[in-house]
Amino acid sequence: MSKKKSFQLKVLKEWVVNALKTRNEPLNIKQISWEIGLKGSQYRKPILKAINELINQNFIIRSQKYKFQYNEPQNIISGIIDINKSGHGYVKVDAELKEIFIHRKNRLNSLHKDLVSIQLIKNKRQIIEGRVENVLKRTNTKFIGKIKIKQGSGNAFFIPNNQKIGSDFFIPQDRLNAAIDNDQVVVEFTDWPLSAGCPFGAVTKILQKNMDLKTVIESNIEISNIRNTFSKKIIKEVEALSTTINQKEIKKRRDFRKDITFTIDPIDAKDFDDAISIKYLPNKNVEIGVHIADVSHYVKSKSEIDKEAFLRSFSIYFPGNVIPMLPEKLSNVLCSLRPQEDKLSFSIAIEINNLYEIKSTWMGKGVINSNKRFSYEEAEEVIKTKKGEFYKELNLLNAIAKILRTHRVENGSIDFERRDIAFELNNKNEPVKIIQTNPLDTHKLVEEFMLLANKIVAKKLSSINTSIYRIHDVPDQEKIKELINYLEHFEKNKIKAPVSYKNSGQFINKLFKKPGKGVNKHILENLVLRAMAKAKYSTKNIGHYGLGFEKYTHFTSPIRRYADLMIHRLLNAHLNKQTVHFLDLETKCIYFSNTERIYIDLERKINKFIQLKLLENSIGQVFSGIISGVVKWGIYVEIDESKAEGLVSISDCQDDKYYYNENIRAFIGRRSGKKYNLGDRVLVGIKKINLFTNEMDLIFTK
């Protein structure tokens, strides 16, 4: 009975608030009763109880002696809510304002990543706390998880695999669609009335028990609402595009076709959006050309292709699969800078003297004809063996790139040593092997010239009122302090902190060169990465901290990034003394940044699935690894062989009772004094792998 009353009270409160919002004027109890359709004296007491609770919660106020009205919140702001595993939420509105804490009881009916409006409320502990007033937009409407049917009642619930979603779902029996207990399914959100304790959903797909890569990619594309088909209108537009270049168009452009030109890309790439040329000048200087596919020539603003490209914003790359931003005819044929074909470009020509100094730059529309398509490995082989096609040119470009990189690092660019993993797939596109890759000189060669081109364009466009910048804020000061505290435990002398966090790049680079005795460089780089802000797009330039650049943008990948396509249009207009007006440009930048984060997280999720999938048959086996993270609930270990990360729960460490020392990020045995530190090498056995949640449980072995 009490549950029923509680439920009725929730409903009444919702009805009362809605009535006062709708009328937007003070109402007495009788008027409220009529508005919500509960006429009669028998309803007076429960309505009054609802009113009193709403007054205590500051939702309504007593405006006159016997009248009440909705209390329009004064401090309403909006943002994306991030929910943790405990059910509490955090909303970060902007860079200046700290995260706003949302207690789980104040989340209303919000789910992880929803756009919400919140009212700031007081807090005794001097932290900013808020209450969700309204869910403005459901960011995610589909979820993957497990069906649980309560025995006896027949009630079905859906438990999301992602514990941060914020709630289980109630699934009506007629919405189970043949799903049974413990099935892994895709569920679609249908409703969450304020009067209900949890959201309602419907099963849209039952997933197979033995998850493969194809199923995982397809199901994640579905739940992320990723656009992966092109409409008939778009296909019709693409088919109408000519594959031949008009001679009149070529005459408008600078002709680079006689210059030695080549592309350097991954071995399986098809969308070559950048090429590099080299020309020896009479004054003994060289001219380096950075040529970018002229996508804006083919993709006209406000066309159907353009609208779809904006919505996608990026191409997404999965092992053995790609969801392109542009249709294949554009990305792989018309715009792709394929060898032995005339191609339209947006080019930057950079004159460099024998001291590797930049003497002049030119930028504008061009036409090129690439002499050769190199893979990174092929170009690297030419440089190392000092023989092969275009050795002289590749060697000179490599020498210039090394000088550019040295100068960049000296000026504060963070010198990360990247380690990537790739996957070998069989003829069914299923992973069979993990390949660890180290950066080649040719990776760095291409990177330096693309960074330089982006920097030159950013500087050029900074003279106009509106542009798009790729910005990267300074690191989190508290996390840098934590890093210094951690390192001091390995050093006899205290580490001198950077004077200014804006100029701390040199400090971090010194740490990378000499990490200190006992410090693992790989772990050190991970700690620095965690302290870093996320790079994003903005019309408000604050510089790019990670690169050490005052101005930076994205110009070099218009086939796979829409922001680059917009930069091409802005730059072309500026060079031709025209004006281009983009409405709500900052809103577009926010959209690009949010979309990019979704895609990055998804790509990482798929990669982690593959890493664990390849270890699925290794349960019980022992592997060597490195402690990559220490948290209150356990120890994360990265396995050497696959770079897969798993958790050793501290409750599974039975040889002693361990306590957590937060300052040095270590667990210490109370009896033995044994330590588990970040960066320690350990042996672990695989206890359990859950491919649906992307989790691996490990145990220490002797």
pLDDT tens digit sequence for 639-666: 998 899 999 999 999 889 999 988 778 8
- Do 456 and 483 have their domain in common? no
pLDDT single digits (tens) 443-483: 999 999 999 999 999 999 998 878 999 999 888 777 777 77
Tell me the C-alpha distance between 466 and 582, whole Å: 9
> What are residue 195's phi and psi, to 5 degrees?
-80, -10
N residues, the chain: 702
Q: What is the pLDDT of residue 641?
A: 86
Q: What is the pLDDT of residue 232?
A: 94
Average pLDDT value for residue range 604-626: 93
Q: Which amino acid is at 582?
A: F
Quick count: other Cβ atoms within 10 Å of Cβ 649?
A: 13
pLDDT single digits (tens) 503-513: 677 778 887 77
Q: What 3-state DSSP class applies to 350?
A: strand
pLDDT single digits (tens) 119-161: 888 665 667 888 898 898 898 999 999 999 987 777 899 999 9
Report the number of distinct structural domains present in the chain.
Answer: 6
Task: Kindly tell me if the per-residue pLDDT of 670 is higher than 80.
Answer: yes
Average pLDDT value for residue range 403-431: 87
Q: Report yes or no: 540 and 586 within 8 Å, Cβ to Cβ.
A: yes
Task: Kindly tell me if the per-residue pLDDT of 96 is higher than 60.
Answer: no
pLDDT single digits (tens) 173-222: 999 999 999 999 999 999 998 888 899 999 999 998 888 898 899 999 99
Tell me the C-alpha distance between 192 and 10, whole Å: 13
Tell me the C-alpha distance between 255 and 344, whole Å: 10
Average pLDDT value for residue range 553-560: 97
pLDDT greater at residue 208 or residue 58: 208
Q: What is the pLDDT of residue 3?
A: 38
Q: Is residue 444 part of a domain?
A: yes
- Do 275 and 170 have their domain in common? no
- Do 598 and 519 have their domain in common? no
pLDDT single digits (tens) 11-26: 788 788 888 877 778 8
Q: Is residue 277 part of a domain?
A: yes
> What are residue 60's phi and psi, to 5 degrees?
-130, 160
- Do 637 and 653 have their domain in common? yes
- Do 12 and 159 have their domain in common? no
Q: How far is CA 413 from CA 65, 178, 503, in A?
A: 66, 56, 10
Tell me the C-alpha distance between 227 and 218, whole Å: 12
**The domain spanning residue 98 has which CATH number?**
2.40.50.140
Tell me the C-alpha distance between 661 and 404, whole Å: 43
Average pLDDT value for residue range 4-12: 61
pLDDT greater at residue 238 or residue 268: 238
Q: Is residue 52 part of a domain?
A: yes
Q: What is the pLDDT of residue 4?
A: 39
The DSSP 8-state label assigned to residue 561 in this structure reads B
Task: Kindly tell me if the per-residue pLDDT of 368 is higher than 70.
Answer: yes
Task: Kindly tell me if the per-residue pLDDT of 492 is higher than 60.
Answer: no
Q: What is the pLDDT of residue 497?
A: 61
- Do 461 and 490 have their domain in common? no
pLDDT greater at residue 614 or residue 496: 614
Domain boundary among 70, 85, 120: 70
**Helix (H), strand (E), coil (C) string for 289-355:** EEEEECHHHHCCCCCHHHHHHHHHCECEEECCEEECCCCHHHHHHHCCCCCCCEEEEEEEEEEECCC
Q: What is the pLDDT of residue 284?
A: 93
Q: Is residue 214 part of a domain?
A: no
Task: Kindly tell me if the per-residue pLDDT of 362 is higher than 70.
Answer: yes
Per DSSP, helices labelled H in 213-319 are 213-223, 232-239, 247-251, 295-298, 304-312
Tell me the C-alpha distance between 296 and 343, whole Å: 13
Task: Kindly tell me if the per-residue pLDDT of 550 is higher than 60.
Answer: yes
E strand or H helix that includes residue 401 = helix 391-410
Average pLDDT value for residue range 330-358: 95
Q: What is the pLDDT of residue 236?
A: 95
Average pLDDT value for residue range 548-561: 96
pLDDT greater at residue 187 or residue 85: 187
Confidence label for 1 from pLDDT (cuts 50, 70 and 90): very low
Confidence label for 8 from pLDDT (cuts 50, 70 and 90): low
302 Rama sector, left if φ>0, alpha if ψ -120 to 50, beta otherwise: left
Q: What is the pLDDT of residue 237?
A: 95
Domain boundary among 158, 191, 207: 207
Tell me the C-alpha distance between 415 and 547, whole Å: 9
Q: What is the pLDDT of residue 18?
A: 82
pTM of the model: 0.84
Q: What is the pLDDT of residue 7?
A: 45
pLDDT greater at residue 495 or residue 543: 543
Output the six-digit token pair for 678.
């970040």
- Do 315 and 455 have their domain in common? yes
Confidence label for 491 from pLDDT (cuts 50, 70 and 90): low
Domain boundary among 112, 137, 162: 137
Tell me the C-alpha distance between 508 and 415, whole Å: 8
- Do 362 and 338 have their domain in common? yes
Tell me the C-alpha distance between 684 and 99, whole Å: 37
Q: What is the pLDDT of residue 614?
A: 93
pLDDT greater at residue 50 or residue 188: 188
Q: Is residue 445 part of a domain?
A: yes
- Do 445 and 562 have their domain in common? yes
The distance from CA 87 to its chain's CA centroid, rounded to whole angstroms, is 22
- First CA to last CA distance, the chain: 57
pLDDT greater at residue 292 or residue 519: 292
Least reliable range by pLDDT among 87-91, 410-414, 591-595:
410-414
Burial 401-425 (b: 16+ CB within 10 A, else e): beebbeebbeebbbeeeeeeeebeb
Domain residues for the domain of 43 are 2-70
Q: What is the pLDDT of residue 128?
A: 81
> What are residue 97's phi and psi, to 5 degrees?
-90, 135
Confidence label for 234 from pLDDT (cuts 50, 70 and 90): very high
- Do 63 and 146 have their domain in common? no
Averaged pLDDT score across all residues of the chain: 89
Quick count: other Cβ atoms within 10 Å of Cβ 485?
A: 14
Q: Is residue 223 part of a domain?
A: no
Q: Is residue 538 part of a domain?
A: no
Least reliable range by pLDDT among 53-62, 137-146, 266-275, 570-579:
53-62
Q: Report yes or no: 333 and 316 within 8 Å, Cβ to Cβ.
A: no
Q: What is the pLDDT of residue 472?
A: 93
**The domain spanning residue 190 has which CATH number?**
2.40.50.700
Q: What is the pLDDT of residue 143?
A: 95
- Do 314 and 398 have their domain in common? yes
Output the six-digit token pair for 683.
């042996």
Q: What is the pLDDT of residue 505?
A: 77
Q: Is residue 191 part of a domain?
A: yes
Per DSSP, helices labelled H in 489-584 are 505-513, 521-531, 562-575
- Do 628 and 588 have their domain in common? no
Least reliable range by pLDDT among 125-134, 340-349, 426-435:
125-134
Q: Which of 1-10, 61-70, 455-464 has the highest mean predicted lDDT (pLDDT)? A: 455-464
Confidence label for 6 from pLDDT (cuts 50, 70 and 90): very low
